[in-house]
Amino acid sequence: MRRLPWRAARLTGLREETDSARTLVFQVPGWPGHLAGQHVDVRLTAEDGYSTQRSYSVAAPFDGDTVELTVERVPDGEVSPYLTEIIEPGDQVEIRGPVGGWFVWRPESRSPVLLVGGGSGIVPLMAMIRARRRAGSRVPFRLLYSLRDPSRRYYAEELRRPDAGLDVGYLYTRAVPDGWPRPAGRILLDDLAESGWPAGFEPECYVCGPTGFVEAAADLLLALGHAPEHIRTERFGPTGG
């Protein structure tokens, strides 16, 4: 198997998403392109030669030599504190990828899509939403986005905008907005039954988030009758992206 090369990546823009997360836009000359749902490795190298790397999902579809990432700061992390607090436009890192070919959505697909994201697991799902919009696809999408409280919501303004064929639902596990009809709590069968597609529609289901969330959501989808081959999962631990 051909090894993917490391490429110089220069930061050209950034956006704050929450108090602990930001979106970073890199220019990567020679970038070969990527699919929505894939991820990349990011490497930092210190002046003394020490280097460390982490994987992060791509947050936007292929657009020339641009790679967009959304990074959540991990306490005591080696890479995320630099990317969320220190790096400035013009600074460089190294990027390798794209990586992964199973957890992807392609614009030529015609099946309805259910996206289930937990916390920063929204990132590759947002890439799929944006890829659908850019392609002018009429495939219907439904997103169920689970997060601790409203202050941790990524892409808040963009997801509020009307987007024909995209339905967005939220689930809060720790604190809810004033007047929210559902009490705070973890994802349940009824949440997926109400916000998802009937199994008979044979939707493609993409689930991304912390391991416990992904396992729970996948089990619930199976309980609702969704075929295992239609459920694609991507999970991460405390240092994943």
46-98 per-position pLDDT tens digit: 889 999 999 999 999 999 999 999 999 998 899 999 999 999 999 999 999 99
Give the per-residue pLDDT at 10.
Answer: 98
Same structural domain, 135 and 79: no
Residues in the chain, pLDDT under 70 = 1, 237-241
Three-state SS string over the chain comes to CCCCCCEEEEEEEEEEEECCEEEEEEECCCCCCCCECCEEEEEEECCCCCEEEEEEEECCCCECCEEEEEEECCCCCCCHHHHHHHCCCCCEEEEEEEECCCCCECCCCCCCEEEEEEHHHHHHHHHHHHHHHHHCCCCCEEEEEEECCHHHCCCHHHHHCCCCCEEEEEEECCCCCCCCCCCCCCCCHHHHHHHCCCHHHCCEEEEEEEHHHHHHHHHHHHHCCCCHHHEEEEEECCCCC
Same structural domain, 120 and 95: no
Same structural domain, 86 and 156: no
Contact yes or no for 13/70 (Cβ under 8 A): no
Q: Which of 99, 123, 145 is the last residue of a domain?
A: 99
Give the per-residue pLDDT at 239.
Answer: 34
Give the per-residue pLDDT at 237.
Answer: 60
Same structural domain, 132 and 92: no
Distance CA 209, CA 147 (A): 10
- Does 105 reside within a domain? no
Give the per-residue pLDDT at 240.
Answer: 34
Same structural domain, 137 and 162: yes
Give the per-residue pLDDT at 1.
Answer: 55
Distance CA 235, CA 116 (A): 12
Torsion angles phi and psi, residue 166, rounded to 5: -115, 120
Q: Which of 99, 122, 152 is the last residue of a domain?
A: 99
Say how far residue 204 (Cα) sits from the centre of its chain: 16
Of 94, 113, 95, nearest in space to 104 by CA: 113
Structural domain of residue 77, as residue ranges?
A: 7-99
Contact yes or no for 199/226 (Cβ under 8 A): yes
Give the per-residue pLDDT at 236.
Answer: 79
Give the per-residue pLDDT at 75.
Answer: 87
Q: Tell me the pTM.
A: 0.95
Same structural domain, 228 and 157: yes
Distance CA 151, CA 92 (A): 30
Same structural domain, 151 and 91: no
